[in-house]
């Protein structure tokens, strides 16, 4: 469960204090699928980063499974992130000196996976990049980098997946396959999904839509035409074929922004 209580965030830019978030209180139960929507600049990425402990709020508390993460040391927070959170950054944050397959293998190696390379290859194949594994990020298109970032965030099957516009740079076909993967992760493993998106199709697939405006929560609703994914054959790639069944649910994720 993710719980935010009266969270605010004030940053300084050009010598002036800017209030980015104000009075955000939000509880996301385990296994829920939530879309965060709102205009550009409304604070969506900032809010997602706070949930991952990548930044600290100016005031308020944020709990992950009952633990207040705003008071943790950097190293303790990195440990919690490794165990609990997969994060897909709006701007990918792939490691430029590593190839696609090496980028995906990093969290697997950190988690002690012995066949990290093989599993990274399976994941990249699942996102349609079997022919780009040896490419460096600079040699990949924006959409291809995004898919590598998605595969990396999935790699250790985290219980919470936070994704900042995971389909933002993808064409409709590739976007649909990434959405399939996200929904499969929820269906097969009960992953909590919190997705920032401008895509109404993706938002409508979530169980709940939280809308932001000017740093505040504007509305919090069920989409009118949400679907029941448990009964839907949405997934094109069964995750059992991607994830071995004996993997612990508390594996690692990349722990830094880069
Ligand atoms: N480090 C910073 N210092 C000052 N202001 C910042 C900083 N980071 C973000 N902001 C401002 O905070 C506001 C919210 O930014 P944020 O990136 O959370 O928006 P967003 O809703 O994700 O927008 P988008 O849809 O364009 O990605 C923006 O007005 C932005 O300019
Ligand atoms: Mg953003």
Distance 164 CA to ligand 2 centre (A): 7
233 pLDDT more than 50:
no
Q: How far is CA 2 from the centre of its chain?
A: 14
Q: What confidence score (pLDDT) does residue 240 get? A: 52
Give the dihedral of Cα atoms 202, 205, 210, 215; nearest 10 deg.
Answer: -10
CA dist 197 and 191 (Å) reads 18
Closest CA to 180 of 108, 118, 102, 126: 126
Distance 118 CA to ligand 2 centre (A): 33
CA dist 2 and 254 (Å) reads 20
139 pLDDT more than 90:
yes
Could you give the percent of the chain with pLDDT greater than 70?
Answer: 86
CB 70 within 8 A of CB 189: no
* Token digits of residue 46: 């900032």
CA dist 62 and 112 (Å) reads 29
Mutate to test the pocket of ligand 1, among 16, 17, 24, 41 (most ligand atoms within 8 A of CB): 41
Beta strands 59-64 and 33-37, pairing class: unpaired
Structural domain contains residue 257: no
pLDDT tens digits for range 199-226 = 988 999 999 999 999 999 999 987 655 4
Q: Which domain holds residue 95?
A: 2-251
Q: Which ligand has the minimum distance to the alpha carbon of residue 55?
A: 1
pTM, full prediction = 0.85
CA dist 251 and 105 (Å) reads 13
pLDDT tens digits for range 190-204 = 999 999 999 988 999
Q: Structurally, how many domains does the chain consist of?
A: 1
The sign of the dihedral angle between the CA atoms of 207, 197, 119, 237 is positive
Structural domain contains residue 178: yes
CA dist 131 and 144 (Å) reads 11
- Output the ligand 1 site: residues, CB below 6 A: 11, 13, 18, 20, 38, 40-46, 90
Structural domain contains residue 137: yes
Q: What confidence score (pLDDT) does residue 246 get? A: 45
Q: Which ligand has the minimum distance to the alpha carbon of residue 24?
A: 1
Mutate to test the pocket of ligand 1, among 10, 11, 214 (most ligand atoms within 8 A of CB): 11
CA distances from 248 to 94, 158, 170, 209 (A): 25, 9, 31, 30
Q: Which residues of 18-53 are buried (b: 16+ CB within 10 A; e: fewer)?
A: eebbbebebebeeebbbbbbbeeebbbbbbbbbbbb
Structural domain contains residue 107: yes
DSSP structure string for 180-202: HHHHHHHHHH--EEEEE-S-HHH
Could you give the percent of the chain with pLDDT greater than 90?
Answer: 66
Confidence class for position 241, pLDDT limits 50, 70, 90:
low
Distance 11 CA to ligand 1 centre (A): 10
243 pLDDT more than 60:
no
Structural domain contains residue 197: yes
* Token digits of residue 121: 């290859």
State the CATH number of the domain containing residue 118: 3.40.50.300
Distance 258 CA to ligand 1 centre (A): 19
Distance 92 CA to ligand 2 centre (A): 12
Q: What confidence score (pLDDT) does residue 225 get? A: 52
Q: What confidence score (pLDDT) does residue 154 get? A: 86
Q: Which atom of ligand 1 is nearest to the CA of 47?
A: 18
Structural domain contains residue 256: no
């Amino acid at each position: 469960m993710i719980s935010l209580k009266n969270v605010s965030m004030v940053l300084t830019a050009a010598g002036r204090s800017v209030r980015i978030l104000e009075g955000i209180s939000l509880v996301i139960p385990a296994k829920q699928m939530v879309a965060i929507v709102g205009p550009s600049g409304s604070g969506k990425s900032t809010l997602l980063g706070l949930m991952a402990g990548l930044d600290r709020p100016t005031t308020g508390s944020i709990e992950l499974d009952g633990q207040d993460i705003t008071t943790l040391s950097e190293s303790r927070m990195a440990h919690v992130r490794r165990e609990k959170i997969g994060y897909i950054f709006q701007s990918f944050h792939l490691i430029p000196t590593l190839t696609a397959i090496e980028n995906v293998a990093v969290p697997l190696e950190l988690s002690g996976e012995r066949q990290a390379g093989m599993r990274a290859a399976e994941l990249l194949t699942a996102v349609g990049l079997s022919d780009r594994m040896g490419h460096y990020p600079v040699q990949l298109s924006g959409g291809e980098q995004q898919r590598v970032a998605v595969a990396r965030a999935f790699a250790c099957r985290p219980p919470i997946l936070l994704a900042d516009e995971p389909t933002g740079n993808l064409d409709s076909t590739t976007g649909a396959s990434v959405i399939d993967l996200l929904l499969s992760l929820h269906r097969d493993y009960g992953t909590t999904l919190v997705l920032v998106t401008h895509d109404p199709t993706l938002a409508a697939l979530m169980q709940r839509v939280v809308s932001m405006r000017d740093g505040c929560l504007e509305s919090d609703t069920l989409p009118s035409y949400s679907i029941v994914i448990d009964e839907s054959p949405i997934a094109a790639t069964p995750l059992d074929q991607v994830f071995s069944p004996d993997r612990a649910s508390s594996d690692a994720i990349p722990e830094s922004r880069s």
